[in-house]
Structure 1
């Protein structure tokens, strides 16, 4: 009596079993089976021989259940996680990987360290993090209470003069242009010059902010040392 049992197969392996069984029964030619399975006729013949010798079990991948050649041993993974918990719990995977390599001689890939930290709850992927909600700032209530200063470097006069910076003073409460003037470059002295006149016009001015720290300066426009 033939032995019976249960085997686990993927959908691809189940389809392969059906095609190879059709070849064995003579309902399908090896060339047709090769085209359907996207294999060569030699591979189909080998599968037919394996099916005849071992049955359906012979068509199941022999890699299933084996340990991967790239899988870490439990000792290495545990040692890495212990070090990360004790010393690098607040590090990102890349920096933690570098420290494990430099300080402890554990040569692991960044993705391996990332997976270990994710499984241990030490790292949350960016796509799973809560998005930060930034509350919009309310405008000031009085004219002149806050003056925002910004500069734009451009060839305002085309080829008739050198490039210069247009400084703009904007009232935060009304978005009104309080003052504009051209200057050689956006600097502290250039932004301080017109403030006296603005203060006389709007006595309630309490604060002014300049965005010069966020300005982009092209490297080509910077003076070069001889």
Structure 2
């Protein structure tokens, strides 16, 4: 003999089969997933009203305690659904076993028996590294760091790194505004280059000349 819940399911599925109810509305009436409703409908067309009885045969009672439910689910994971990830497992338990468990609860139960199979993720695309610039000064990568570097007055440390040589150039400015343009940083780079060249020239002039 069917209980009121089973009788409701039979009546509703019969109306779906007759075209009087949509599957979308049925999922709300029975509080079941679309996949479960489609399975009910398929069985109803094969064996009639017995689909609801046949579907529940051998299943644990709905009023089982949390511990009993946990043991049932864990046994199903070990013996039947060991190759499923958690997302697929939750859907399969509802569809095949009429067991609905909150995802976090199911995760905890699965982890208790060391079932930690995860959903497959797409392999991330490998990004090809950009080649460095061929010559110094072609690309300067810059960044600003506003801070109270000297007392209460706020200033900004602008740093630039040469893409080709990895040489670092930096200077303090009053603030990080539009006046600190790439041209200004370029000027710093050129000035440093000129200073370096002048220093090298001075060193060469100090070297003893050969006879």
TM exceeds 0.5? no
Q: What TM-score, normalized by structure 2, do the two folds share?
A: 0.32
Greater relative contact order (Cα 8 A, min sep 6): structure 1 or 2? 1
Give the alignment's TM-score, normalised by structure 1: 0.31
